Amino acid sequence: MKFGVNGAVAIATAIGLGMPLAAPAQELVMSIGSRGYGGMVERNIEGFTAANPGTSVEWLKVSDVPGDSRKLYVTGLMAKSPTPDVFAIDVIWAGEFAQRGWLEPLNDYLSADTIAAYNPSFLSAATVDGKVFAAPLYVDGTHLFYRSDLLEKYGIPVPKTWEEVIAASKTVMEGEGNPQLYGFVSMWAKIEGLFMNWLSFTGGNGASFFDADGNVAVNSPESIAATQTMVDMIYKDKIVPDSILTMKPDDARTLFQQGRAVFLMVQDFVYAPLSAPDSPVAGKFDFTRNPYFAAHPEGYSTAMGGWLLAVNANSENKEAAAKLVEYFTSYEAQLTAAIDENRAPGRTDVYAAPEMQQASLLKKLGEDYAVGVVRPSAPTGNLYPRVSETMQTEITNALHREKTVEQALNDAAAEINSILGK
């Protein structure tokens, strides 16, 4: 703690006079992007400092580009800087940062009830060796967007399974007779989003990245079958454009927005541009949870992303920092962020609030996140980037038919086992 000359004099005088000393002021630094949480940052800081006299919070604004903020954090954390005390981290960083000893475990600061209120699947991305290293701030993820007007035109119910998506795509494409209209588009370029897509497909078939014993299971029969469906959608069912293999989220969104696709599977940030007044599909689309396969209605099919709040392991004010995390992730704060900023809460209990029942968009998002799956970043830690790169490469090999699905996933399993030292 640093004291100026006047502060030091005041303390010395107080001691000399035998006056009782007030607790020293605590100065916290919080780092989060300005766009990442809208106006809630300032409001939460104001509320927190009012409830905790003697504690101040400086908002250190960082880039909203994840890669840029990550570089900044890593530089400071490697140097063991005590600031920022609290910072927002991408869900796929949590495992690595915890493994490197950069994050303070929160179990001794947050109550069991508070921890239990967080989305359990999302929280698992920040849980290492049974310890919670970050608290969910808000969630995003992939969803299935669909042309409600076209489904209604052909009397097709909203699909729940991949089998139904494929059948509906064929029906609408044949009925419309437009060679520029496709059944399904998504982000199948060799990017992180492709891995998220794959997790949605395989999770919807009852598969998981690791089996119950912790073994790599990317080449399980369920994973192979789901991946084969992705390949078949290109070459057998012919419901996707050839360009899907180079599509990133905005590429797929643009095609859907132009009225050239019946279904779109990407993250929920596309909702705003799709529903803008000048959007050709405004009022003509809706979304639902990612499909599952008919044999696995219990499948976890929504690949989740989002942000968490963590405490710097080198902070000089860990208890106060944890209180700030708890305040930002409280029921009241997340409910306000949901209603005022349209941010999907990281707490499951918020979705039951009466106010949320009127917020149809957020209510539907919450229903999708209840069947959410996260990327395996917590158990793989600092090795996650290599794991993800391997999966992107081998999924791409399968989609391009450079390898059979089985061979590609067998190769992925072997390489990941090597990376993890198994």
- DSSP assignment string, 356-384: HHH-HHHHHHHHHHTTEE--THHHHGGGH
28 plus 119 within the same structural domain: yes
248 plus 308 within the same structural domain: no
146 plus 136 within the same structural domain: no
Closest CA to 186 of 399, 410, 376, 408: 399
pLDDT for position 146: 98
pLDDT for position 7: 30
Closest CA to 165 of 143, 142, 184: 184
249 plus 347 within the same structural domain: no
41 plus 109 within the same structural domain: yes
pLDDT for position 8: 27
13 plus 110 within the same structural domain: yes
Q: Which residue has the tokens 């990133």?
A: 248
159 plus 279 within the same structural domain: yes
Q: Which residues contact 164 (CB under 8 A, 6 or more apart)?
A: 157, 291
154 plus 127 within the same structural domain: no
71 plus 118 within the same structural domain: yes
Owning domain of residue 284: 141-301+382-419
Query: What CATH number is attached to the domain comprising 186?
Result: 3.40.190.10
For the whole model, what pTM was predicted? Answer: 0.88
For 163-212, how does the pLDDT look when each residue is reduced to its tens digit (9 = 90+)? 999 999 999 999 999 999 999 999 999 999 999 999 999 999 999 999 99
pLDDT for position 25: 74
Q: Indicate the number of domains in the chain.
A: 2
pLDDT for position 20: 36
**For residues 255 and 285, is the Cβ–Cβ distance under 8 A?**
no
pLDDT for position 9: 28
For 231-241, how does the pLDDT look when each residue is reduced to its tens digit (9 = 90+)? 999 999 999 99
- Below-70 pLDDT ranges, the chain: 1-24, 36
